[in-house]
Amino acid sequence: MTVGFEVLARDGAARAGRLTTAHGVVETPAFMPVGTAATVKAMTPDGVAATGARLILGNTYHLMLRPGAERIAALGGLHRFMNWPRAILTDSGGFQVMSLAALRTISEEGVAFRSHLDGSKHLLTPEKSINIQRLLGADITMAFDECTPYPAEQGAVETSMELSMRWAKRSRAAFVERAGHGIFGIVQGGVHTDLRQRSAKWLTGIGFDGYAIGGLAIGEGQATTFAVVEATVPFLPDDRPRYLMGVGKPADLVGAVKRGIDMFDCVLPTRSGRTAQAFTRAGTLNLRNARHADDAAPLDAECRCPACNGFSRAYLHHLVKAGEILAAMLLTTHNLTYYFDLMAAMREAIMRGRVAEFEAPR
């Protein structure tokens, strides 16, 4: 088999499901912490698992440049290399290549670019991206695509989407089938719902193990994101997982789950943890603020994480002001725990048929 997916409960468009991979089962809705360079920043693998994570994201672009996919493969694959025995999804590198701007050239063959590390020349094609992800040992491989910038003229978006669809066909052909591993296609088309629907039909015609909605959360705003999701989801197979890439804030996750999305990734909880921000049930806190200096209360009295069950806001404020590494570790742990508790609460609401009552966090 490839990756398995089963929908266990529905409430409106929202689904609670189970994704089965070579490295374990992932309950959905699911959030993926971002481990771009084979590490979730400021976290140990055991610490990441303790928050509730069962699936993390690695990145083709960064790992091909350093330390190299062949080296990782020779050392036993990405799971062993980073001591993460659970599931891994790898981004194809398309988003990172897009961000290189002047350092890359796009053609039908693929993307020629210079490394941001040392200026060395590389060519990333659909076939090479898929092979790198195979060498890494990803449970879920992503098709190679071009993430269209926003804003862009509709004609340019259409040209970009069609190129991504041709690359998707090549990606699917290059993927090596093996038990517990699968490949996801990525819907593109910018903010244009007709292009999104064409893209979805194109991908389902090729046939993938799951379907991602890419090219969003890059400046278009939440209302537009939700509109694109609502227009796209009906054109995706009901029996396959749906993944909204690069999203997002807690309210974004709740709104997207209510619109039929099963999987998410975003750097926000980990990046915020390194920049003194904490997500709580009462809203977002900035631990740099002086008002926390004498506050003996925990970040969130309802939270199960170590930061909330051993340390005060005053202490965390002190760590932040002192520039201590422990501040990033504790706040990142807290934020990921908050995100996974949010996913668990959403799942329970779906199972009980009460998702309509579930309010988006502040």
- Annotated catalytic sites, by residue? 91, 265
Q: Tell me if 109 sits within 8 A of 123, measured CB to CB.
A: yes
- Contacts with 148 (C-beta within 8 Å, 6 or more apart), sequence order: 98, 156, 157, 160, 161, 188, 189, 190, 215
- Count of H-run helices and E-run strands, the chain: 13, 16
**Distances from the Cα of 290 to the Cα of 293, 312, 328, 330, angstroms:** 5, 14, 18, 19
Name the residue among 2, 32, 28 with its Cα closest to residue 17: 28
**Distances from the Cα of 23 to the Cα of 208, 209, 240, angstroms:** 19, 16, 18
CA-based torsion, 6, 89, 277, 98: positive or negative: negative
Q: How far apart are CA 276 and CA 274, in angstroms?
A: 6
The one-letter code for the residue type at 336 is: L
Specify the 3-state DSSP secondary structure of 108. coil
- Contacts with 323 (C-beta within 8 Å, 6 or more apart), sequence order: none
Q: How far apart are CA 170 and CA 47, in angstroms?
A: 38
Question: What residues does 279 pair with on adjacent strands?
Answer: 284
Phi, psi of 100 (to 5 degrees): -75, -20
Both tokens assigned to 340 = 């996974």
Phi, psi of 278 (to 5 degrees): -130, 130
Phi, psi of 254 (to 5 degrees): -60, -45
